[in-house]
Chains A and B, each alone.
Chain A
């Protein structure tokens, strides 16, 4: 009964979403306050219905109701409770429902927290959100329903189990985070469309859009970081980023979103870069849609996967064409109606942010081409396979992003409108000195290559630059401590956000460069008692044993770690085979964190020579996730900035010219 009620709620949500699209947009067009005011309650109803449908599906998962096709395909009664819940969205149908749930949640947030929004802008934004909801709900209800039932006389007793790779705490959180990021950009998108309809983008608009963009960006940052952390410890290859299309799919909206985040500041502060900002808002969400599409349609593994399920593929393609094509068309029609104001010199903070936009957009395009080219090639040659590997991405993306990273610390020191670059650089003396020192020390003491030394210098430049800008802002050592302290405590959240995020970028660079340049790797076949020497550690393989988990069988390799003849740890590296699915066993690597880096042990197959063991030493790789954490925390702190809570318009001065009811 609950399943069927959930199904009904889902269908009803589609109907309400259509209502929420048509009525407010028509009302805004007619300037009819009554119709416009219908948007918010409809958004609330839509959220409640989608939430109910989602809860019904979770309920079916938790209670292993295998009369639901989706539950049978993706769950197993022996799964731990937490994975019964997360299993709900570890499959196509469920994840699309989660996508719509998060969309409904953001729509609800606009409806509830927009007392400060003009009625027409609010109605239009909610209308656009409603249209996105309608499209995806229609898709779910017609071709991707999670509520399809198995005939009563054929209901199986056990499910087929969840993809074992996904039975992992990080992956339990990864999709909701990622989707919150993707879907969060829909708000900026909706505001951009609404602004294009009204023909108005101004400082106030920038202020309304910024917090939503920042929230989406923060979620997306956290989601991507979790995903790469998971790839690092779960896939057992010792890597954390593979320029895999699925990863690129989430990276492109992040790049576009980062540009949007900065561009929106210019709109708010200077009433400039309007066309840029609107375009970036459209692009960021377009890439979110493409990301969803790429991952969900199966088109990535092969164009053929698309052909296997053309119904879904074409449906999503139609959604993409409608929203991306439609929004860009509207942009082409209406962008010229946006008044150009807020002039600035090329050398100014605005100018630096334009460069930021250009480089980030170009980098996005480079990733986009690299991701889609194999697909286009396959489609064009009728099945020809080609891979675009890391060298392409490192070259193109690297070439574009390095200049951006070099100017990054200088940007915040430039004045609006017209800047004195010399004066700005003179405030970065300490950073420059530290950077030069880092470069020389890397070359001489650490024996680094020029490239590695350059990379370390870049990372130091970013971290030091962010700190020096902060120090200058609070007048550290230049004013009495009392003044500095007062400045620190009264510094607005968005400033903290900038410092944290920019320093975070530096930490990520350092983590990448150091772990790549000094990584050590041993792949050996070991008999019990065999040893491997790596980075000053001695790893002794003690042998294998079997173990049973709640829903898997494990082969555990036992290892002892010695350093300088002293035992520093015993570790277990596992391979798990899960019930319900006869698939590749998953790896659970042994991972030890030390100040200098991570020791990483993954076991492979048993061979004649012994057990294949891969041991890596990844120096300072933790800086990478620490940096990502800094960025995410920065985003969060920025959201807490009280200044985003815009004052509510006063309601005393104008009267409504009410028409008498006919």
Chain B
């Protein structure tokens, strides 16, 4: 009888611990998702980056060219950087850095940022007026 009670207690403990662990993981993930969404909503330009990453440097350089200061989250310099990266991956389907957000919308990675800059759409999105010429306004 005592053995059965002990077994039941043991099993209950395991189930409870599993539930607590699952809840902690889910809660942790939820808090990271909230952090990402809150950060993206609070700033015009957000770059999720890693300080050593050449592609991140390239994305930052684009905004320097446009004389804009992005809000940068350096994932390698945060304790929870790895979890934030996992959360970003779940939200946007990409694990790589940088990931750039403009006015709350996901622009993409380094290549997407450079492409948007070179095509002029990035300046347009940010409301920057650029001088235009009609040099290209003819058939090739």
Q: Do A and B actually bind?
A: no
